[in-house]
Copies of this chain bind each other. A is one copy, B any other.
């Protein structure tokens, strides 16, 4: 095989497919990036058997062929090459020479025969949304997937399509994040659970332009994302996702309108008194026109008042501050509304149009110490 392409094209492609290279594996071939120039195009592929990424790069094929190169070494070499044309040449024993200007690297590759190509997925109708929207939706929900494997379904996100509507849900047992998106077309009803890791990697490699689209294809076992010159194929998580409708009530006893930045900054300040593992709640004392936030820990105490618009009853309620910070950080609106029923029932952070719902369970606290 012999091919010539620019360092920047090569690096761009390597950075994309590297996201699917497993960090730990017993199969050495999976630690490789496959360069496939056996036909009329140059394709880079990596595959950890759950997630596979393939991308095409521009370049000239002087001699057709296929080679698998250690992903770590190859990407480090490419990154450090001068910004010029790169020639990659292999011989029958998989010896690979990478030349760029006067620099010449020799490494040993592997046969592409043992490489597991990404599975071929029959494409049905494409679900289309903008790169920007998909990237935003992932950012605004990914933080509330579970961080351990105890319940596999909690490590993924629900993607539910109904007519021209996409609902994305993540939950970890203490909170739920929901994003609703309107699609341009109508689709059949479909419900899948996409691994969180897949979404994290897709979000990293998505350029995120509002003008460019992503095509998604759903099958029983796989989801495919297609954008620009890149194809991402991921297994789905099997099983029936949690029924969340029964947890979402629109009744409330207290509604609070509050400046998002002020609330976020205040909770952020309060958490510096809480060291890891020390589960101190932040207490919100809601009265007419005012929310007092308080935290008490071994280190000290902090309190702060924020102006609010209150509708309904006064309430004294406690939360894990991290859950509020996570949700507030991804909300773009300047002002948010909190809906509460009582100190034991979940608090909802919602907008009026129903674009997002963040549900956060309160925590118990000893009211006498407040």
Contact = CB atoms under 8 A, between A and B. Distances in A.
A73 to B, nearest CB: 6
Given A80-B269, A265-B82, A303 B73 contact: no
A331 interface: no
A102 B300 contact: no
Contacts of A306: 102
Interface stretch (A25-33, A55-63, A104-112, A137-145): A104-112
A301 B106 contact: yes
Given A73-B300, A300-B73, A300-B107, A305 B269 contact: no
A80 B268 contact: yes
A269 B5 CA distance: 19
Interface in A73-106: 73, 76-77, 80-82, 102-106
A295 to B, nearest CB: 10
A272 B70 CA distance: 13
Contact of A103 (B299, B300, B302): B302
A266 B81 CA distance: 9
A288 interface: no
A104 B304 contact: yes
Most chain B CB atoms below 10 A, which of A82, A104, A299: A299
A82 B102 CA distance: 54
Given A107-B299, A300-B73, A300-B106, A80 B305 contact: no
Interface string A288-301: 00000000000111
Copies of this chain present: 2
A232 B19 CA distance: 47
Nearest to A272: B76
B104 A302 contact: yes
Given A102-B306, A304-B104, A306-B102, A73 B269 contact: no
Contacts of A299: 73, 107
Interface string A16-57: 000000000000000000000000000000000000000000
Given A81-B269, A268-B80, A269-B81, A304 B107 contact: no
A269 B304 CA distance: 54
Contacts of A77: 269, 272
Contacts of A76: 272
B73 A266 contact: no
A273 B305 CA distance: 58
Contact of A104 (B265, B273, B303): B303
A323 to B, nearest CB: 19
A145 to B, nearest CB: 28
5 contacts: A76-B272, A103-B269, A104-B304, A107-B299, A108-B300
Given A80-B265, A102-B304, A105-B301, 17 more contacts: A73-B272, A73-B300, A76-B272, A77-B269, A80-B268, A81-B269, A102-B306, A103-B266, A103-B304, A104-B303, A104-B304, A105-B302, A106-B300, A106-B301, A106-B302, A107-B299, A108-B300
4 residue pairs, one from A and one from B, having the closest CB atoms: A107-B300, A103-B304, A80-B269, A76-B272
